[in-house]
Amino acid sequence: MTALASAKDTGTVEQTTSASPKRVIDIDNLSLTFETNDGPVHALADIDLKIDEGDFVSFIGPSGCGKTTLLRVIADLERPTAGSITVNGVSPEEARLNRAYGYVFQAAALYPWRTIAKNVALPLEIMGLPKAEQQDRIARNMDLVNLSGFEKKFPWQLSGGMQQRASIARALAVEPDLLLMDEPFGALDEIVRDHLNEQLLQLWAKTNKTVVFVTHSIPEAVFLSSKIVVLCPRPGRIYDVIDSDLPRERNLDIRETPEFLKIAHRVRDGLRAGHSYED
Amino acid sequence: MTDVSLPTTRSSNPFAGLMSGTVGPVVVVVSAILAIWYMAAVALNTPFQQEIYERASQTDVPLSQLVTDTLAQERPVLPAPHQVVVEIWNTTVEKKITSKRSLIFHSGITLSSTLLGFLIGTTLGILLAIGIVHSRVLDKSLMPWIISSQTIPILAIAPMIIVVLNAVGISGLLPKALISTYLSFFPVAVGMVKGLRSPEVIHMDLVHTYSASRVQAFWKLRLPYAVPFLFTSMKIGMAASLVGAIVGELPTGAVAGLGARLLAGSYYGQTIQIWSALLMAAFLAGSLVALIGVLEKQTLKRMGMAR
Amino acid sequence: MSIQTAAKRRIDMPALLAWFVVLMVIVGLFSPIFGPDYGVMDVPSLAVCLVILAIAGVRYELGFMRNLIGDLILGLVAATSAWLLVSTVSQHVGEAKLGFWALVVATWAASWLFVERLALWKSRSQSLARIVNLAIPAIFGITLLVLWQLVVTGAGVPKVLLPAPSEIWLRLINSVPTLWADFQQTFLKAVLAGYIIGCGSAFLIAILVDRVPFLRRGLLPIGNLVSALPIIGVAPIMVMWFGFDWPSKAAVVIIMTFFPMLVNTVAGLAASDAMQRDLMRTYASNYWQTLFKLRLPMAMPFIFNALKINSTLALIGAIVAEFFGTPIVGMGFRISTEVGRMNVDMVWAEIAVAALAGSLFYGAVALIERAVTFWHPSIRG
């Protein structure tokens, strides 16, 4: 199994070295082991991954495969136990202190005592930006996620989809190099989710941000991504990396095309093969 | 799970393990408190000690002498911990239980009215909660008064209740127990209302689809859900009950009970006696609450709700 | 929940109450009201009382005017008969007989019926619903006071045992200067000073404890234990150390309020969930920014819980501490001396002041809580 995985990895390295854009994330032979009462748990093992500027990368895999953990390592919320990782050529911690990250969690995690505008302002206050600049960024990013007019509302007065859009605006307001999204639409219903997926793609086209997106939905991963990373559990490792040849401009109808289904099929095969049924 | 042979490799440094738990820090904090207590005792008792030296025209007393003297005064401003412990030992182990000077005798009196009051209070609290949960009128009319009844400083009228009940010939255990009742019914009632209402809507709906009667829904659903709440509020109620019993003993002319010991101690400046009664009360409160904790654990385990 | 109340075989409480009113009126008609040979007809106002109660009961049973106006009339009837009972019994103190008690019970049942009907009102508007929600406990309280008045005067309970509300009220308005002086001494000096110092210092220490994990693990179990202890027992020691005047009472209040505040604040500071702390970390937020922007707002419901508990504890602590020695002013002092002189009405007047002060204090804290934690699910409803 590991032999197979590493064979795939060397393939990826060849592909990405030929690309010209700036390298944003460079992960080399990274492992992370948690010490628990029941012995060590290998959350991540021998991860090699390169992500370039402007990529939309999805991590997909069954639960327990370490996709969220990998995202957290990138964001300096977890520290690897072996191997190396650089973000913008520096350590994740330095990147975090440089405010390179906009992180969107599974839940909106908005503060109920702040209005939507004040929630978007939260990271800006922490960064110590001048008031005028804050106002400007709030207005711009609220508009970007189509929430203009809801500035004075409190989070609990909005629907789940609107809350999640507000949390994306909050992440974008930082003007991060990297947008990290951990199953941001996992708790929403399918219709809202489709809608937000389309909006997210438009947003990506407008801002040209590098996005790392964790999901367990195959259609979502294929629809959004320019690169799909398939992970498998025990230990958490990369099974397959798929570069999508779909056009950057997409709408929901693309999900019916043969090209889309081909990629979706390859992802599904990867998930199936990587899933060990012995236990 | 049955794999016993697996060696535990954790915590190679036992000291580090001790300090990362709660036992180590608690021991350290307690000893810090004791150290501060001793220092404060020396500092607070020094002025009086120096007066004694002056009267006896002893001039250059060595420091060690001063320290030992300050920690061995008859009526110190702040008695040292060991003086209190010795006093407790003398008045518990050394005295007969029936003796008026035995602290166990006084604790027993306080304990009995605490328990009686707690029992009545808990029963009353549970009954009120059942009524409130099942009747909208009771809920709307009674609940605000139960809450505002606690903003009335009931302890303040404790002495009056005792005196008045004494005047009509009711004396002894019951008046004190009534004050404990008043203090302990509140947390139980509020906690039980919360508990009896804690089953989720889907569970209530499920029982409703079985067309269960209100009585059945109560026994099979509401009550089991309320048990953890009951124990939590019983702990609060027990602590409050003890406070009620102690305060209830204040106005009866300092006859018997821990409250009476406090009052007598303050009349005659017997600080060691006050502190020993105080520690005894603390010990009583701690063990009563711990007892409910043990009961809680056993019950929840039997109900399969233990975590 | 509404499904539950509509459950089968529910006892029809209003009908039961209406029947009960009628039954009691009949009893009142055929038994002596005051003394051995004082019938209903000898006391004209009571006869009126009886008639209107009977109308009220029968009206409900016949299903006549079972609407809003009918309910209001019912309330009016209950109030009028209560008033008539109170005014007649004041001329016949301690002479009440079976008929009188039957009328008292009938009045009580009628007011219960009124509250029962009131609770069934469908709220057409928000403000009406709010008024009803305030009116129900208010009517309950008034009913309690009226019953107290009727029972005490009707049965001629000695004043030493339990004075009637009217006597307490008289004593209260006749001794405002004394009560005000006591209030100043106990509440404005001891309680407020102790409350502010106790809660404030516990808040600061809680932040310190939270910063040092070792202290948190060591102090929190002790804090929890101390919260269950009868701390009020330190009162005699404090009186010995700080003298008879209010500082010693403030010291007791400080100690009593300290631990609930400490334990609650520490628990509140731990209340923010991992996701929110991670969020602050991705912003590279420093300790103080996280504290002020996330953890303190999150801790507010816990802190206000302690502030509310402490508002009642503080008053109790100050009053009880005065039992161990005071200058000749103060609420606790007044209560203990007037009990000794058997001036029970003065004691009750003092208690009424204490209850009012306690309720207002609690209410003020609760109002501030509503303003500060408007976002919390328990407040926004």
Task: Name subunits touching B (3+ CB pairs < 8 A).
Answer: A, C
Task: Name subunits touching A (3+ CB pairs < 8 A).
Answer: B, C
Q: Which candidate in B19, B78, B154, B155 is best for mutational testing of the C interface (most C CBs within 10 A)?
A: B155
CA geometry: angle at B153 spanning C172 and B253, to 5°?
A: 90
Residues A151 and A270 in one domain: no
Helix (H, G, I), strand (E, B) or coil at C121: coil
CB contact under 8 A, A109 and C279: yes
Whether A238 contacts A5, CB under 8 Å: yes
Nearest chain A residue to C380 by CA distance is A156
Looking at residue B12, its pLDDT comes to 43
Greatest mean pLDDT among A87-96, B204-213, C28-37: A87-96
Q: How near does any CA of chain B get to the CA of A36, in Å? A: 9
Asked if A63 is an interface residue toward chain B (Cβ–Cβ < 8 A), one would say no
Residues A95 and A208 in one domain: yes
CB contact under 8 A, A112 and C375: yes
Of C276, C278, C283, the CB nearest to A123: C283
Looking at residue C131, its pLDDT comes to 81
Write the pLDDT tens digit of every residue in B250-304. Answer: 765 557 788 888 888 877 778 888 888 888 888 888 888 889 989 988 888 888 7
Q: What residues of B are in contact with residue C320 (Cβ under 8 Å)? A: 155-156, 247, 250
Round to whole Å and give the CA distance between B197 and B208.
15
What confidence category does residue B121 fall into, taking pLDDT thresholds of 50, 70 and 90? very high
Q: What is the mean predicted confidence (pLDDT) over B112-135?
A: 89
The CATH number of the domain holding residue A29 is 3.40.50.300
What confidence category does residue A276 fall into, taking pLDDT thresholds of 50, 70 and 90? low
Q: What is the mean predicted confidence (pLDDT) over A38-43?
A: 80
CB contact under 8 A, A107 and C284: no
Q: Which candidate in C283, C285, C288, C290 is best for mutational testing of the A interface (most A CBs within 10 A)?
A: C283
The fraction of chain A above a pLDDT of 70, given in percent, is: 91
Asked if B193 is an interface residue toward chain C (Cβ–Cβ < 8 A), one would say no
Write the pLDDT tens digit of every residue in A112-163. Answer: 888 999 899 988 888 888 899 889 989 988 888 888 889 888 988 888 888 9
Domain of A150, in residue numbers? 101-175
Looking at residue A8, its pLDDT comes to 43
**According to the 3-state scheme, what is the secondary structure of A184-247?**
CCCCCCHHHHHHHHHHHHHHHHHHCCEEEEEECCHHHHHHHCCEEEEEECCCCEEEEEEECCCC
Q: What residues of C are in contact with residue A112 (Cβ under 8 Å)? A: 375-376
Round to whole Å and give the CA distance between C374 and C381.
10
ipTM: 0.77
Of C119, C218, C237, the CB nearest to B25: C218
Q: What residues of C are in contact with residue A99 (Cβ under 8 Å)? A: 283-284
Q: How near does any CA of chain A get to the CA of B204, in Å? A: 26
Q: Is residue A195 part of a domain?
A: no
Q: How near does any CA of chain C get to the CA of A276, in Å? A: 30
Residues whose CB falls within 8 Å of the CB of residue B187, separated by 6 or more in sequence, listed in order: B125, B233, B234, B236, B237, B240
CATH of domain B103-303: 1.10.3720.10
Write the pLDDT tens digit of every residue in A5-16. Answer: 444 444 444 444
Q: What is the mean predicted confidence (pLDDT) over B157-166?
A: 72
Residues A210 and A257 in one domain: yes
Round to whole Å and give the CA distance between B66 and B49.
8
Q: Is residue A181 part of a domain?
A: no
Q: Is residue A182 part of a domain?
A: no
Residues A67 and A122 in one domain: no
Q: What residues of B are in contact with residue C2 (Cβ under 8 Å)? A: none
Round to whole Å and give the CA distance between B41 and B66.
12
Number of domains, chain A: 2
Asked if B142 is an interface residue toward chain C (Cβ–Cβ < 8 A), one would say yes
Residues A33 and A66 in one domain: yes
Asked if B15 is an interface residue toward chain C (Cβ–Cβ < 8 A), one would say no
For chain B, what are the domain ranges? 14-78, 103-303
Q: What residues of B are in contact with residue A37 (Cβ under 8 Å)? A: 10
Q: What residues of A are in contact with residue C279 (Cβ under 8 Å)? A: 103, 105, 109
Q: What is the mean predicted confidence (pLDDT) over B187-203?
A: 82
Looking at residue C64, its pLDDT comes to 61
Looking at residue C251, its pLDDT comes to 92
Nearest chain B residue to C217 by CA distance is B22
Q: Name which of B117, B156, B235, B267 is nearest C232 in CA terms.
A: B156
Q: How near does any CA of chain B get to the CA of C47, in Å? A: 30
**Average pLDDT over all residues of chain A:** 82
Residues A92 and A13 in one domain: yes
Round to whole Å and give the CA distance between A96 and A101.
6
CB contact under 8 A, C293 and A122: yes
CB contact under 8 A, C283 and A156: no
Q: What residues of B are in contact with residue A36 (Cβ under 8 Å)? A: none
Q: Name which of C135, C356, C376 is nearest C268 in CA terms.
A: C376
Residues A41 and A166 in one domain: no
Asked if A36 is an interface residue toward chain B (Cβ–Cβ < 8 A), one would say no
Looking at residue C191, its pLDDT comes to 92
Q: Name which of A19, A80, A7, A96 is nearest A52 in CA terms.
A: A19
Mark which of A135, A155, A175 sits at the end of a domain.
A175
Higher pLDDT, C95 or B1: C95
What confidence category does residue B116 fall into, taking pLDDT thresholds of 50, 70 and 90? very high
pLDDT beyond 50 at B10: no
Per-block mean pLDDT, blocks of 10 residues, chain C (381 long):
43 75 80 72 73 73 67 82 83 79 84 79 72 81 88 82 87 91 90 94 91 82 79 83 88 90 88 86 88 90 88 85 82 83 85 86 89 80 58
Superfamily of domain C172-380: MetI-like (1.10.3720.10)
